[in-house]
Structure 1
Amino acid sequence: MADTGHRPEDLPPSLVPAALEEDVEDLKAQVRSLTAQLASLQEAFSSPAAVLPQQRETDDDRAWRYPPFILLLDTPDRDAELRVLAEWVEGVLVPGYLGEPSADARWCHRWVEHEDAVAHLHALWLAWQELTDPASCGYTGPSTWHRDHYRPCMNELRGPRGPFAGCTKGEHHIAHRLPGRVPSDWHLEP
């Protein structure tokens, strides 16, 4: 059917079916309603601090959207986060990415005892969660994770000056070199 440029309300009533008139009136009412809603929203957002009630973040929303960094967690939450991190490290990272440890690429199977290694691995895991989800980062996320997160993290952890530098491999025996406690006013012996 060709568009004649005529609007239904411009045509004689005998040419416009009654149902079409009702549809036109319904559409007009919807436009009026949407116009009123738009004006209401513009008024609500005219103040920079204004937030609609349904858009306020709850504590649950923040917890889901912003995972906590493991070093900032208290003991029960930290232990739970460490368990989940360990599942990823031992189930994905170690078997899928790490080769045999060597003098140039060390690894400690007791990595949870190295606080700085835990911090690095947790940050790597958080990045992995985000960058392996195509919904949040598209299909280039894994490449970005490898380039920007995995390689620098592994170079730091497994390098000659990394947290595993004092660990040796020998018949599954790991010897840890832990720094001694430096006397200071921050730590007083009981």
Structure 2
Amino acid sequence: MSDDQERTPDFEVPVGLFQDLEDLRAQVARLAGQVRDLTDNGDADAGEATEHDDAEAGDAGEEEAQFPPFILLLDPPQYDDELRALMEWVEGVLVPGYLAEPSADARWCHLWFEHPVAIARLHALWLAWQELTDPATCGYTGPSVWHRDHLDPCLRELRPSTGPFAGCTKGEHQVGHRLPGTVPSAWNRPED
């Protein structure tokens, strides 16, 4: 019997379980390789990195690049693309589904994308929504977690009368809101 025939079950296995088994197999192979490297490199000091470790570090860096970065740290071409996608989600999902008519207690600015604080919070909310509404990554409780842990706190921060839209009223937009003044420091007292 060949390896492929041994590895393929003769009954139907859920895809997730089969993927978990493949992940475990890969982890065991990686650990076996590390043990082999450690035992073969007896002359290397305990603190020295091996070629295998360096390769893994490079692989880890490549994996991290798959995750979207914080939107406010992006440069113009990537920032514009990410903001455009965020705007589609906010205007297509969030506003019609979750935002009631703005009021003094629940503000909203139709030009929210000109408020950096709103962009940052809504981008984080959108990233969480992408992950937590996909049953493949979070199961069936993801949407509940998204509402409880992400949507509700985000709206509590964005929509109060003291939030980033505080200076915006229905139909009127202000980006240049009052900034905090200089806070006097106990360490820097003026010379008398």
- What is the TM-score with the length of structure 1 in the denominator? 0.65
Paired position in structure 2 for 1:4: none
Counterpart mapping for 1:15-164 below 5 A: 40=33, 42-44=35-37, 50-51=52-53, 56-57=58-59, 61-64=63-66, 66-164=67-165
SS at match of 2:141: helix
Unpaired runs of 5+ residues, structure 1, are 1-22, 31-36, 185-190
Unpaired runs of 5+ residues, structure 2, are 7-28, 40-45, 183-192
Q: Structure 1 residues 40 and 128, CA, compared in 2 at 3 Å: closer, same or farther?
A: closer
SS at match of 1:165: coil
Paired position in structure 2 for 1:20: none
Paired position in structure 2 for 1:178: 176
Percent identity over paired residues: 58
SS at match of 1:139: coil
Q: CA deviation at 1:88?
A: 0.5
Cα-to-partner distance string for 1:64-100 (whole Å, 9 max, x where unaligned) = 2x11110111111111110010011011111111111
Question: C-alpha distance in 2, partners of 1:161/1:45?
Answer: 58
Alignment size in residue pairs: 148
Q: CA deviation at 1:111?
A: 0.3
Cα-to-partner distance string for 1:77-135 (whole Å, 9 max, x where unaligned) = 11111001001101111111111111111111100111101011011111111111112
Contact 2:114–2:175 (8 Å) recurs in 1: no
Q: CA RMSD in A?
A: 3.3
Question: C-alpha distance in 2, partners of 1:153/1:39?
Answer: 45
Q: CA deviation at 1:179?
A: 3.5
Q: CA deviation at 1:180?
A: 6.7
Contact 2:158–2:165 (8 Å) recurs in 1: yes
Letter in 1 for 2:124: A
- What is the TM-score with the length of structure 2 in the denominator? 0.64
Question: C-alpha distance in 2, partners of 1:71/1:62?
Answer: 18
Q: Structure 1 residues 70 and 43, CA, compared in 2 at 3 Å: closer, same or farther?
A: same
Contact 1:44–1:52 (8 Å) recurs in 2: no
Q: Structure 1 residues 177 and 53, CA, compared in 2 at 3 Å: closer, same or farther?
A: closer
Q: Structure 1 residues 55 and 179, CA, compared in 2 at 3 Å: closer, same or farther?
A: closer
Question: C-alpha distance in 2, partners of 1:61/1:39?
Answer: 21
